[in-house]
Amino acid sequence: MPKVTFIFRDGSQRSVEFEHGKLPYLEHGLPESFLDVAMNTGIHLEHACGGSCACTTCHVIVREGMQNLSDMEDNEADRLDTAWDLTTSSRLGCQAVIKGDVVVELPLYTRNYVQEGGAIQLGKPETPPTKDESEIRS
Ligand code: FES
């Protein structure tokens, strides 16, 4: 039963375990990817494109267990090239499928091409705009 530890931006951590083949698939990212596991366990992982490898908001940095992940496909590598703060341990949370114990850190910044046209965002970009901001955008 793989154990997945998420290290959040504030330094706090949460570990979850799942049994292969038992997670209900929520159609976000590849089955048993970081995004799939996060969504099934109530962990917030940004995923602006719905897990279709079209943004980099699900960027995670693998701190332990890289060997316990699926190999990176070309489309993930191409998309990751556009991620903010790319490291040699970076993966897309919606594309990396978990096969064993892993520890990942959520980067401090994400670049959200879907919502902001490539802008870099700090913290929690999912915060809904205030009424005044909504009026400005419309
Ligand atoms: S959620 Fe967009 S690439 Fe993973």
Report whether pLDDT(97) > 90.
yes
Give pLDDT, residue 116: 52
Ligand 1 mean position, distance from CA 52 (Å): 6
**From the CB of 48, is ligand 1 less than 6 Å away?**
yes
Domains and CATH numbers, the chain: 3-137 (3.10.20.30)
92 lines ligand 1 (CB under 6 A): yes
Tell me the best of 84, 92, 111 to mutate to test the pocket of ligand 1, counting ligand atoms within 8 Å of each CB and taking the most. 92
70 CB-near residues (< 8 Å, 6+ apart): 30, 95, 96, 97, 99
What is the Å distance from ligand 1's center to 37 Cα? 14
- pTM of the shown model: 0.81
pLDDT (tens digit, 9 = 90+) per residue, 27-81?
Answer: 899 999 999 999 999 999 999 999 999 999 999 999 999 999 999 999 999 999 9
Separation between Cα atoms, residue 11 and residue 105, nearest integer Å: 9
Do 31 and 39 touch, CB atoms closer than 8 A? no
